[in-house]
Amino acid sequence: MKKLYTTLLTIAATALSIQAQQLPNVGFENWKTECGNSESFGDKTGMVQRPNTEPADWNGSSVNQTVKVIMNINKKEQLVFEADGKNGKGVKLKNVYIGAGSIGSVAPGYISFGTPWVNATASLSKCDGGTYGGMNYTYRPDAIIGDFKRVDTNDEVSHIIVYAWKGTFKSNVGEKSNPTNERDDVDRAIMARDNAHLTSNSNGTRIAYADYTFKSTANNGWETIVVPLTYENNSAPEKINVVVCSGDYWTRDNMKDQTELHADNVRMLFYSRLSALSVNGTPVNGFDPDNFAYTIDAEMPADASAISYTTMGNSGSTTENVALDKENAQVLVTVKNDYEGGTDIDGETSHTYTLQFNKNNLETPEDPTDKDAYKGSLHVVIKDMDMDTTQDDQTVYIENTGAGKCIFSLPNFSFGDIPVGDILLNDVKVTENADGTFSYSGSAQNMKLGPDKDEEGNDVPDEGKLDVDVTLTGTIDATGKAQMIISVIWHLDEETAAAMDLPLNVPIDVEFNGQGPKPTAAIDDITVDNSNAPVEYYNLQGMRVNASNLTPGIYIRRQGTEVTKIYVR
């Protein structure tokens, strides 16, 4: 339950942080009612609103520009379209010829998080364009993934471009041969293109990048493309930009009219898998990052130092844990992405690799025959948290210790799939009733519940565990039918109680119903000093028997304080 309330506290934060590190509007389901602005140089200067519409949170390249020929010619051309995606809506990007007659050029259809700019004049040698800026972003994704579809027959490359950086890249844009307008974080400057035009006060550092090109997709249909990012240092970025372009983004002379690209589900990947795994220096035979179970024909390693591995990707955001399950001869290697919501290609945030070793060298587990096991179901209710669950296949144990006492244990208690720990009461009173049933009662104050080790294998101190009071009452009838009521009071500190909107003391009602052996009486709870005390007989199971009904066998004879074993022929 420690994990339970910690999990509940982080639910709200998780929901927010998923969007913080993932790209916005990854599925292009949301669209603006009107487009944003691009910056124009050349014959028309200033910020101009793009025509038609574009995906929310993204900027498109649709054109609204004026070119002076004999007279001012204003051209509005849509290059970004709402279209059917692989799932729901998607975006269509299309190269379009912009101009009048033979005077003009092809403009690329693209989307990005930066601001598009264009230098448009009647002199084609001076025309140019691109993107500057991006969005704030401080995470280190491993790859970008998306669904793409090329439907044209043009032999032109499409681009998927990503770059992440810190600081500021200062460079000039505008007229192709003589750019004079300084802007921050221009795409070609960050990507170190030949025409970067960096100025002296630039202090930017590129952290990671990717630039993937393709001319077609499988059968001209939807194809999922994964593009790994190349990291150049271990720093966290400050900003990022993504460009998805239908045509040859960097070389406008290569662009062709009507080149068309569809895109959907463009998002970042955060790997939580291994790329290599070894035992005692020997690679696991047939290892595959997407295969999570292996059989190793060897003895169980003595400790985790025998396991070595390499994680996938460059995000530096994973936590790895090696756990040894000696009872089952297994080693579990878990990789978890520390970015909440940082999902891998399968949508998961963590993966566990299981190595199954030979079991023939396992130690024999402790013989539990001195305990009576009762198997059944557990019903748990936490009213203050509006939680109610029933767990089948639960077992409790009762171990008679004499003097009318027993040890009661409920091992591996959990609420749903959240482990809590072992409930153990050492001094439970046992009373044999006239109707043949046995009653049980016991309690413990300030019991500490929870795992002894955290996910990294470190010891968990008592202050990091659940603080509870436990009271037990219950009965087992002569047929072995058991009903145990376990009342738990969970004590919270004021800060945690306030954060979860709970009282300081939370009652948890636990009821066990199950079946086991007929209970045994504790025969040494009677103190008699009188040597003239009546003689009593018990079988070896501790049950009292009538002296007139003794059949051949061994019995326990008790008179006062004297206890002996006898053999009846």
Higher pLDDT, 331 or 445: 331
pLDDT at 111: 98
CA distance 392 to 307: 35
- How confident is the prediction for the chain on average, in pLDDT? 84
pLDDT above 70 covers a percentage of the chain that reads 82
What is the 3-class SS of 227-279, one letter each residue?
EECEECCCCCCCEEEEEEECCCCCCHHHCCCCCEEEEEEEEEECCCCEEEEEE
pLDDT at 539: 62
Q: Which CATH architecture has domain 368-515?
A: Beta Barrel (2.40)
CA distance 556 to 535: 10
Position 527 pLDDT exceeds 60: no
What number is the average pLDDT over the span 509-518? 92
What are the distances in angstroms from CA 188 to CA 160, 163, 307?
14, 11, 45
pLDDT at 237: 95
Position 545 pLDDT exceeds 80: no
Which of the residue ranges 132-136, 291-295, 434-438 would you say has the lowest mean pLDDT?
434-438
Q: Tokens standing for 211?
A: 């630039």
Position 564 pLDDT exceeds 70: no
Exposed / middle / buried, residue 76 (Cβ in 10 Å: 0-12, 13-18, 19+):
middle
What number is the average pLDDT over the span 419-444? 87
Position 137 pLDDT exceeds 90: yes
Cβ(87)–Cβ(27) below 8 Å: yes
CA distance 336 to 208: 22
pLDDT at 7: 37
Instruction: Please name which of 79, 68, 85 lies closest in space to residue 25, comparing C-alpha atoms.
Output: 85
What number is the average pLDDT over the span 157-176? 96
**What does the domain layout of the chain look like in residue ranges?**
20-269, 274-356, 368-515, 535-568
Tell me the range of 145-159, 438-452, 494-508 where mean pLDDT is highest: 145-159
pLDDT at 566: 66
Which of the residue ranges 205-209, 212-216, 408-412, 545-549 would you say has the lowest mean pLDDT?
545-549
Instruction: Please name which of 520, 532, 530 lies closest in space to residue 556, comparing C-alpha atoms.
Output: 520
Instruction: Please name which of 266, 225, 253 lies closest in space to residue 113, comparing C-alpha atoms.
Output: 266
pLDDT at 389: 86
Cβ(1)–Cβ(466) below 8 Å: yes
What are the distances in angstroms from CA 273 to CA 138, 145, 236, 487?
22, 16, 21, 42
Fold classification of 20-269 is Jelly Rolls (2.60.120)
Q: What is the pLDDT of residues 9-55, one digit of tens each?
A: 333 333 333 345 789 999 999 999 999 999 999 777 899 999 999 99
Number of neighbouring beta carbons within 10 Å of residue 514: 19
Position 455 pLDDT exceeds 80: no
pLDDT at 391: 85
What number is the average pLDDT over the span 426-451? 87
Higher pLDDT, 499 or 71: 499
Q: What is the pLDDT of residues 386-412, one digit of tens each?
A: 888 888 888 999 988 877 888 999 987
